[in-house]
Structure 1
């Protein structure tokens, strides 16, 4: 009996420790409504042949509606095509347990904007907000993510999530696979 209680307590403590502390970048509660957002988190990075690509994720809670804000940044001196989001855009998250979770774009059409920096690099920036489905939200809290497929307005692209990512951008270490498991509790 003591062993069973010990196992139960150990399991409970393991689950509590698996979640990371919340780093909130905005927490507003006023007459217009409630808005809460986590700090930007790097979930994908690729530097190859003079081109850099980054995907940052932010979990957002707006008046009780949980959403995922994805921000894509591409940097290059060569031509980069502009991707867009529209009403048909979606995100598919392949979980390690085999399930696929779908997030739906908020139906606001937008395309990547081009900015040129002082070093002659072109920078493309695209931001999209995606809504969670209730059943997918629960699945994301239980299993790591292995792949994200993003359906843009004209094509789709796959990005593989790493267990651990040491960023060349800032030197920090991230855990993209466990992002949702670690931080979804911040917007519940």
Structure 2
């Protein structure tokens, strides 16, 4: 009997401890090809007084080509200086194994657009950008957590330490920024 229980435990262990189910905001296949985008993950949140900055990431597969979607949201009662990207902008990810991966901006010059929210009486600035993977070896992204992210904007570079778990104040939910690629990269491979 013990052998049967042990066998069943070992047989179903990959199902119990395996990858989380994929969640997509877009999953379309038509005559033009296949487009998949994973659900956005909050990887950084800073709230100080009436000012907040949120950074979301999602992965896109455009006919098998991986793309990272970056969304930076800034909120404040005061004027918000825009964050801009240009052709030289990059995102660097340092993994827990020490490797650093660079992603290149695929968008044109872009600055966060300013939108006033009447309900909250806040200025909001929204920046959307798309970054391309420069290396073909993505295996480390699927195995090792991300410890740090550096975004090179047009006029400055900012480092962000990614926590293991993030209990968000401004959006509902608990996020796992460190495991963003581990949880999402397999979803865009197929």
* 2:85 and 2:111 in contact (8 A); partners too: yes
Map 1:160-175 to 2 at 5 A.
160-175=161-176
Structure 1 residue 154: Cα displacement: 1.3
In the other structure, the counterpart of 1:51 is 51
Aligned residue in 1 for 2:27: 27
Aligned to 1:75: 75
CA deviations 1:29-77 (Å, max 9, x no partner) are 1223321111111111111121111111111001221111011100001
Q: 1:70 to 1:136 in 2, by over 3 A?
A: farther
Structure 2: runs of 5 or more not aligned: 1-5
TM-score (norm 2): 0.87
Partner of 2:147: 146
Contact 2:107 2:129 in 1 (8 A): no
User: How does the TM-score come out when normalised to structure 1?
Assistant: 0.88
1:41 aligns with 2:41: yes
| 1:108 Cα deviation after fit | 2.0
Query: In 2, distance between residues paired with 1:130 and 1:16?
Result: 33
Q: Once the 2 structures are TM-superposed, how far is the Cα of residue 19 of structure 1 from its aligned partner?
A: 2.2
Distance between the aligned counterparts of 1:97 and 1:16, measured in 2? 26
| Structure 1: runs of 5 or more not aligned | 1-5
| Cα RMSD (Å) | 2.2
